[in-house]
Amino acid sequence: AFLLYSEDRTDRGIALSLQNNPVNREARELQHDSNLLEPANPFKNDDDENPKANLQEPRKEDDGGVLLPPQNLPGELGKPVVLPTNLSAEVKKMVDDGWLKNAFNQYVSDMISVHRSLPDPRDEWCKKPNRYLTKLPATSVIICFHNEAWSILLRTVHSVLDRSPKHLIKEVVLVDDFSDMSHLKQQLEDYWKSEPRVKIVRAKKREGLIRARLLGAREASGPVLTYLDSHCECTDGWLEPLLDRIARDPTTVVCPVIDVIDDTTLEYHWRDSSGVNVGGFDWNLQFNWHAVPDKEKKKHENSAEPVWSPTMAGGLFSIDKKFFEKLGTYDSGFDIWGGENLELSFKTWMCGGTLEIVPCSHVGHIFRKRSPYKWRSGVNVLRRNSVRLAEVWLDEYAKYYYQRIGNDKGDFGDITARRKLRDDLNCKSFKWYLDNIYPELFVPGDAVANGEFRNLGHGGKTCLDSPARKSDLHKPAGLYPCHRQGGNQYWMYSKTGEIRRDEACLDYSGQEVILYPCHGSKGNQYWEYDEESKLLRHGSSDKCLGINASKTKLIMEQCNNNSNNQRWTLENYDS
């Protein structure tokens, strides 16, 4: 198999058609297409100069005696595949095209077996005998895709079939959300022709991932639904720990730990259960990750035990089908992408369920830096979804989201049915959720001021302005003409003297004024506002926050009562 793979001069077209033969597993490995790469074999192990030295006896499978690739094929065991730098122009173009279409390295994915092996990231605790109930419910696995790459989609499905006990997979429902890539048409049907457990459902128009998931749920006949994105890989034993929680209590909604499949090398990254994160969100209604809070840690003897999570990332979870239906599934008014993850999270907690991350279950996901597909033109889809979410579930807290979007709700459609659902289910309040399930969240109402922070110097039209995303932490905070639309100009002044947005705090340690993760211990993040003089005096340096003459930079100066460029008005200040 190795010789064939490294020396055969098949072109890509042939590789593809071989790949489609569902009975010839070995032939599918020919997709690696190494001949197009220079040097001829870029996949050799780091410490191995001679590629032939890698030649080893292929493993035999116990069932059909079909050959499996040797462990040193590209990407096996989740190892990274690094392309050589001296690619020919022809190959480089294919690599670039792959990135363009998918926002990850499709070329590298195509080199890797759709049955590749992965590390086993499980804690020993997970493998103890009798850890899980012997009688577990079967699940329908629903995978929605819109223009997904061939090898990635196939690897997702094979990882489910290859690494789950047969009797626990009722079926795999592939929902095609109106893709136009040709490999997702007849070719996909042909590929799965001899696998009765794989069903393909086609949306008649572009529905977006939320309605596509609902379409999948309608086709699913198992008692449990398991959703996966179309670019995932399940590891050994991923399924049992999820189903076990649902078998014990069908109102428990469970998520695996989501490992990272590198978008460039397809390397499988994982951390042990001491590094497990839980989900949260910010007032822009964006999902984010957090370390497990101490209070939750104390409830467990072993870090591999399931932990409560305020929210889920959205794409990877299992839920009892009846419970999902009882909760009113998703708001089908949500379009394309976004918001549904928080909707289901809030509902689960507020309407009688529990949301958990199960550290014994690991599934990899390719995190992309941009969305490769078309959304919808002329509508801010995410905002519309988020406003629907806020209107139905956030009660009096919705206003904090609206402040972030400049109070511009736009047309968010009709939500009466969703409100009725909430009433009928007798769900708890959002305040209850925040107080009991997510007390770590900073609530803007607890701030002394919130909104724009305007400097009165040089015409008084300059506002504190920074995106304050995770990637902006440790970077200088900025300034911009005030625009009254919230967003990067929405700040809070907390009771404890922080100037913050979400988890970013204005911080000064003698150099530049930067954003830094809020630490809650004052010092470099302590600012004292005096309503009278309008100065913002910094705790540890005793200097005042000002702006330079060109209104481009925050500066720290000796405090001066008469200097307008040190004077600030904080919106909604309430002493």
Site residues, ligand LR7 (CB under 6 A): 144-146, 148, 177, 208-209, 212, 229-230, 258, 313-316, 336-338, 340-341, 365, 367, 371, 373
Residue 208 interacts with, from Mn ion, ligand LR7, none (CB under 5-8 Å by kind): ligand LR7
Give 121 or 444: the residue with its C-beta nearer to ligand LR7.
121
Choose among ligand LR7, Mn ion, none what residue 328 binds, the Cβ cut-off being 5 to 8 Å by kind: none
Q: 340 is in the binding site of which of ligand LR7, Mn ion, none (Cβ under 5 to 8 A by kind)? A: ligand LR7
Determine contact, residues 361/242, Cβ cutoff 8 Å.
Answer: yes
User: Among residue numbers 220 through 259, which ones bind Mn ion (CB under 5 A)?
Assistant: 229
- In whole angstroms, how close is the CB of 206 to ligand LR7 at the nearest point? 6
Least CB distance to ligand LR7 at residue 373 (A): 6
Report the nearest approach of ligand LR7 to the CB of residue 469 (Å): 14
**Which among Mn ion, ligand LR7, none contacts residue 145 (Cβ within 5 to 8 A by kind)?**
ligand LR7
As a whole number of angstroms, the distance between CA 217 and CA 199 comes to 12
For the bound state, the minimum distance from the C-beta of residue 283 to ligand LR7, rounded and expressed in Å, comes to 17
What length is written for the chain?
575
Minimal CA–CA distance to 344: which of 375, 313, 306? 313
Which of Mn ion, ligand LR7, none does 254 bind, CB closer than 5 to 8 A by kind?
Answer: none
Using CA atoms, how far residue 385 sits from 208, 264, 370, 495, 562, in Å, is 12, 31, 19, 32, 47
Q: Does 502 bind Mn ion (CB under 5 A)?
A: no
Nearer to Mn ion, 229 or 503 (CB): 229
Whose Cβ is closer to Mn ion: residue 207's or residue 229's? 229
Q: Are strands 568-570 and 462-465 parallel, antiparallel or unpaired?
A: unpaired
For the sheet containing 527-529, what is the strand order? 527-529, 536-538, 544-547, 554-557
For Mn ion, the closer of residues 316 and 536 by Cβ is: 316
The DSSP code for 55 is: -
Q: Least Å distance between CB 260 and ligand LR7?
A: 9
The first and second tokens of residue 497, run together, are: 């003297």
- How many residues touch Mn ion (CB under 5 A)? 1
Number of residue whose CB is nearest Mn ion: 229
Query: Per-residue DSSP letters for 126-145?
Result: GGSTT-S-SS---EEEEEEE
Residues 402 and 301 sit within 8 Å (Cβ to Cβ): no
| Identity of the residue, 150 or 529, whose beta carbon is nearer to ligand LR7 in the bound complex | 150
Instruction: Choose between 29 and 229: whose C-beta lies nearer to Mn ion.
Output: 229
Say if residue 81 is exposed, middle or buried (CB neighbours under 10 Å; 0-12, 13-18, 19+).
Answer: buried
Cβ-based nearer residue to ligand LR7, 285 or 506: 285
Q: How far is the CB of 486 from ligand LR7 (least distance, A)?
A: 22
Residue 90 phi, psi (nearest 5):
-65, -45
Q: Alpha-carbon distance 575 to 300, whole Å?
A: 42
One-letter amino acid of 498? E
| CA atoms of 470 and 518, how far apart (whole Å) | 12
Q: Which is closer to Mn ion, CB of 344 or CB of 570? A: 344
Residue 389: contacted member of ligand LR7, Mn ion, none (CB under 5 to 8 Å, by partner type): none
Residue 17 DSSP SS3: helix
Q: What is the separation of C-alpha 44 from the centre of its chain, rounded to a whole number of angstroms?
A: 32
**Token duo for residue 405:** 């979007």
341 touches, from ligand LR7, Mn ion, none (C-beta below 5 to 8 Å by class): ligand LR7
Closer to ligand LR7 by CB, 262 or 452: give it: 262
Task: Report which secondary-structure segment, H or E, holds 434.
Answer: helix 430-436
Q: Give which of Mn ion, ligand LR7, none residue 209 binds (C-beta under 5 to 8 Å, depending on kind).
A: ligand LR7
Rg of the chain over CA atoms, in angstroms?
A: 27
Tokens of 550: 């060109």
- Residue 480 contact among ligand LR7, Mn ion, none, beta carbon within 5 to 8 Å by kind: none
> Binding string, 453-492, against Mn ion, x = CB under 5 A?
----------------------------------------
Which parts of 172-231 interact with Mn ion (CB under 5 A)? 229
CB of 365 to ligand LR7, least distance (A): 4
Which residue number, 283 or 568, has a Cβ lying nearer to ligand LR7?
A: 283
The smaller minimum CB distance to ligand LR7, of residues 6 and 139, is found at: 139
CA–CA distance, 270 with 428 (Å, rounded to integer): 36
β-bridge mates for residue 336, sequence order: 208
Tokens of 426: 């007798």
Which residue has 């003409």 as its token pair? Answer: 481
Phi/psi of residue 488, nearest 5 degrees: -70, -5
Report the candidate in 312, 340, 316 with the shortest Cα–Cα distance to residue 328. 340
Partner that binds at residue 421, options Mn ion, ligand LR7, none, CB closer than 5 to 8 Å by kind: none
Q: Which are the contacts of 26, defined by CB distance < 8 A and separation ≥ 6?
A: 1, 66, 67, 68, 69
CB of 296 to ligand LR7, least distance (A): 19
Is the Cβ of residue 28 or residue 146 nearer to ligand LR7 in the bound state?
A: 146
CB 199, min distance to ligand LR7, A:
16
Rounded least distance, CB 330 to ligand LR7, Å: 10
Q: Which residues bind Mn ion (CB under 5 A)?
A: 229
